[in-house]
Chain A
Amino acid sequence: MSNNSVLIIGAGGAGLVAALHAKAKGADVKVITKEYPTRSQTCMAQGGINAALGNAGEDSVAAHIANTLKSAHGIANEQAINLLCSEAPKAVEWLDSIGVCFSRTKESKIAQRTLGGASAPRACYAQDYTGLKILHTLYDRCLAEGIEILSERFFLEIHTQETNEEASIKGASVLNIRSGELEFYPCKSLIVATGGYSRVYDKYSTNSKASTGDGVMVAMRAGARVSDMEFIQFHPTALKNSSILISESARGAGGYLLNSKGERFTDELAPRDKVSLAINNEMAKGEDIFLDIRHLGEAFIDEELPQERKLAKLYENLDPVNDLIPIKPVAHYTMGGIEVDENSQTCVKGLFAAGECANHRVHGANRLGGNSLLELIVFGKQAGESAAEYALTNTDAIVDVNNSTIIEELENYTNEIDFYKIKESLGELFYQDVGISRDKEGLEKTLKQVENYIQDIPKMGVSDRSKIYNTNLIEFLEFKNALELSRLILLAALSREESRGAHFRSDYPNEDDSFSMHTIIDKDGVVS
């Protein structure tokens, strides 16, 4: 291990971009992921990546900033949004220059389409495989640069050392899923890029089963703070039976939302918080909700939305060319996450974060479609460069530390309660009471339940005793993280007695200026 090493946990878009830029700055880089890089959540992004290129209609960086600010509902960092939006054209240009296969226009420009809340067609796309194609190209780029990527290792713990009353990073413990062995990786600086935590909602989420927020909890245990945990985006159009995402681009292209009577009931291209709330209100009246893209025609659907057609056929046994698509809103993106400064650094020196696990305060109370892929590129770069700079200038010696005891502690768990059942109940509870519409009673009831579950953790456990590829163990570790995260979400949601963006309180239905601030939680659970 060299003296200037940057360790990156997570190999989705943010992690790989960070790796490329840290390496370019001269640092030694190692990337660790609990899956394989190309299996990361980023591959599921469909709609596009925002940049005011004006290729499909007049647009400007100023308009991108204005739309993002508006959707954030007053709790965003304007400087961070300025950076995000003004760097966007360069970010897309860079992706194009490394080989991302974007869709093109007749004029040989990158094609763009309109997503919700955008005043112009701004989302650059690659059919409905935008995230897949970006992620794979980034992966290829990392191979080209000889960046070492270690797959199938679960992130357990960040090791720090107290010097002069300040903690500094020493390395990370991971569990090698294949061998069952603990591994310690020393480093000078560490970037957490482990993704969001929408799977707290279990089956009521569009996300990969891996989006369990492990990195957020690990960072927090190491002293980082989290913020805005209550802001969870519900995507309006997931398939009703499977929660599989139907991209916003279906509405961007002119798709309608209909109730059981076949009536439209909302502006389909409003931001996601508004559309999901409108759907929620209809559903409360007993209506079933459908997405209708039949009028777009088979040729258009096959060209622009091929994946959507395939998924609807497979999971709902219907063909969107001829049929209405039954949908429901489910958890899709977590705006909150690890608190970072203008260099993507947390309050722990040498610990950085980027991507959905981090809160760069650009999405505020509601993220715009197309801004999350953008965030990965812009802040992945920032985190990579900052972490490299830190590693290159920090003179602390690399040390070995005692390995994590997290796995050892599980030995005493009694496994008399089936955690899979609790995981399912937690998802149901959260969808019901911590979903699109919340109130004090439901939140308090859920908090009580979650605290009971947390107390019961030692009565849960794993029944698979194998060391080799023990997914029962990994799923339990993920669930433990999700359970602790759900407590933080509840604390934050209870403290915000107002409605703002994705956080709608039926008992406080209006925005209240006195809450025009971020909800910050530290490792002792204190909310400020």
Chain B
Amino acid sequence: MKITIQREQIVSYEIADGDVTLLSVLNDIKQNQDNTLSYASGCRSGVCGSCSMRVNGKEVLACSYKVQDGDFVEPLKNVALIRDLVVDMDKAYGFNALAKAWQKQESNGVLLSLADEKINELQSDCILCGSCYSACPVYSVNSEFIGPFSLTRVWKYVSDKRESDEKEKIDIIQNNGVWDCTLCNECTLVCPQEISSKADIEKLRAKSAMAGYSDPSFANSFGGGFGFDGSPSF
């Protein structure tokens, strides 16, 4: 088999046939063909989020993707490249702090039911691999967009009964946040944990509406004050 990797130049490597993960192929290339190949990896079992990259244009975890002959491997998009397949995640991680994606204060004696557990069980599976930022067309044109995994994290906290001040987080995500998303669903399609940030953003929009916010694009792009059917609303 042959795979091609986008490094400073595009480089092709002959590899043994077999039903193996991309990460084991990269390890094999690094140890036996080219010690200079750079990529990040850790747990090799899909929970540390280190080895996210793109294969044939789609975001994958190298440890969870089975290599096919002719695969083209590239680093994530929309993020500063450090070297070969290694990118700098600091900016994307910074959105978690910007969005205050944490519980405001320690809760005391709040009991969570099985139903409460289910509300954000999936969202708390996030491994911060950054695939969603790479796939997001909004983030690719607006580098200040708070973005998929941070908004999912905000949902994780505001949907939790232990959060005492959801308003603060809802306020923050009004600008470069929930209303900037086009609901294109690209983030959902690439998430290795099957989280849908798009769905979480929709839920955050509903919470925003309940807090008195509305989609600013209606007010702006329709000259102010048109209903959903285009008729003027007063």
Contact = CB atoms under 8 A, between A and B. Distances in A.
- Asked if A pairs with B, the answer is yes
Contact of A43 (B43, B108, B162): B43
A38 B127 contact: yes
A108 B157 contact: no
A151 B90 contact: yes
A132 B125 contact: yes
A41 B96 CA distance: 21
Contact of A469 (B44, B82, B93, B126): B82
Nearest to A314: B64
A479 to B, nearest CB: 12
Contacts of B198: none
A311 B153 contact: no
A199 to B, nearest CB: 11
Contacts of B89: 36, 151
Contacts of B153: 140
Interface stretch (A93-101, A256-264, A446-454): A93-101
Interface residues of A, number: 55
Nearest to B23: A209
B38 A136 contact: no
A44 B35 contact: no
B189 interface: no
B121 interface: yes
A163 to B, nearest CB: 38
Taking residues whose C-beta sits less than 8 angstroms from the other chain, chain B's interface range is 35 or more
Interface string B123-161: 011111000000000000000000000000100110010
Contact of B48 (A94, A105, A208, A315): A208
Interface in B84-130: 84, 86, 88-90, 93, 96-97, 100-104, 106-108, 111-114, 116-117, 120-121, 124-128
A466 B36 contact: yes
A43 B49 CA distance: 10
Contact of A101 (B32, B36, B97, B124): B124
A39 B82 contact: no
B217 interface: no
A41 B163 CA distance: 28
Contacts of A517: none
Contacts of B106: 94, 97-98
A420 B50 contact: no
B42 A462 contact: no
B19 interface: yes
Q: Which of B30, B47, B103, B157 counts the most A-chain CB atoms under 10 A from its CB?
A: B47
A343 interface: no
A22 to B, nearest CB: 17
Contacts of B43: 39, 41, 43-44, 208
B102 A141 contact: yes
Contact of B36 (A106, A127, A151, A472): A472
A389 interface: no
B31 interface: yes
Interface in B39-62: 39-50
A108 B162 CA distance: 13
A99 B100 CA distance: 14
A243 to B, nearest CB: 9
B167 interface: no
Nearest to A150: B90
A39 B124 CA distance: 15
Contacts of A109: 111
B96 A140 contact: yes
A428 B36 CA distance: 25
A108 B46 CA distance: 30
Contact of A143 (B21, B36, B90, B97): B97
A104 to B, nearest CB: 4
Contacts of B107: 96-97, 99
B2 interface: no
A35 interface: yes
A466 B124 CA distance: 38
A144 interface: yes
Among B30, B44, B49, B114: residue with most chain A CB under 10 A: B44
Contact of B47 (A43, A420, A468): A43
B103 A44 contact: no
A104 B113 contact: yes
Nearest to B123: A101
A151 to B, nearest CB: 7
Contacts of B30: 471-472
Contacts of B86: 469
Interface of B: 19, 21, 30-32, 35-36, 38-50, 64, 82-84, 86, 88-90, 93, 96-97, 100-104, 106-108, 111-114, 116-117, 120-121, 124-128, 153, 156-157, 160, 162-163
Given A36-B89, A136-B124, A143-B97, 5 more contacts: A104-B113, A108-B111, A109-B111, A151-B89, A314-B46
9 contacts: A35-B50, A36-B50, A38-B49, A97-B108, A101-B160, A104-B114, A245-B45, A314-B46, A469-B83
Interface of A: 35-36, 38-41, 43-44, 94, 96-99, 101-106, 108-109, 126-127, 129, 132-133, 136, 140-141, 143-144, 151, 178, 208-210, 242, 244-245, 307, 310-311, 314-315, 317, 420, 462-464, 466, 468-472
